[in-house]
Amino acid sequence: MRLLDYTTNNGFLPHIKCTSVDEAVSRLVSELESIGAVTDGASLTAEVMRREREGSTAIGGGLVIPHARHIGVNSVKVALATLAQPLDIPAEDNRPVDIVILLVGPQDDPRLMLWVLARLARLVKSSVFLNDLRGAATAEELQQIFLNADENKPE
């Protein structure tokens, strides 16, 4: 399985302007909803942000990975936004967040979502990967970075 298989063409938003993680998540969910991958975007956004308030997923390196399983999600999906202006969100390294990777999945199948989350966790350890995302100017470039990560994946 390739990580790119869990993305959608419109799920890559480069250099968006937003003032909060809530806003970034809402925009990413809206993109997923527009293609039918999510049936109730408002409810999903609320669930993702509820979980985020319980425990931040800002893991350092300028990255936050909000995630949730929800009844209104048909299959595991990953959507990504890079931010035009970093957000001051508490993280271990105190680095402002400028990359948001949203992971959502169906409520009844946690195994696949955990596999994708584990794959993302390994991938984002690479500062090269994160810097490549920051440098991407278009959605197509962001997709290509994910494709390259899949092709260079150690077995």
Q: How much is the pTM?
A: 0.94
The whole-number average pLDDT for the span 60-80 is 94
The whole-number average pLDDT for the span 50-74 is 93
Residue 143 has pLDDT above 90, yes or no: yes
Q: Which is it for strands 12-16 and 97-106: parallel, antiparallel or unpaired?
A: unpaired
Superfamily of domain covering 3-151: Mannitol-specific EII; Chain A (3.40.930.10)
The whole-number average pLDDT for the span 75-85 is 97
Residue 155 has pLDDT above 70, yes or no: no
pLDDT (0 to 100) of residue 154: 52
Residue 114 has pLDDT above 80, yes or no: yes
Q: DSSP string spanning 67-88? A: EEEETTB-S-EEEEEEEEEEE-
Share of the chain above pLDDT 90, in %: 79
Contacts of residue 136, defined as CB under 8 A and 6 or more positions apart, other chains included, come to 14, 82, 142, 144, 145
pLDDT (0 to 100) of residue 91: 84
Give residue 6's pLDDT band: very low, low, confident or very high (50, 70, 90).
very high
pLDDT (0 to 100) of residue 149: 87
Tell me the domain boundaries of the chain: 3-151
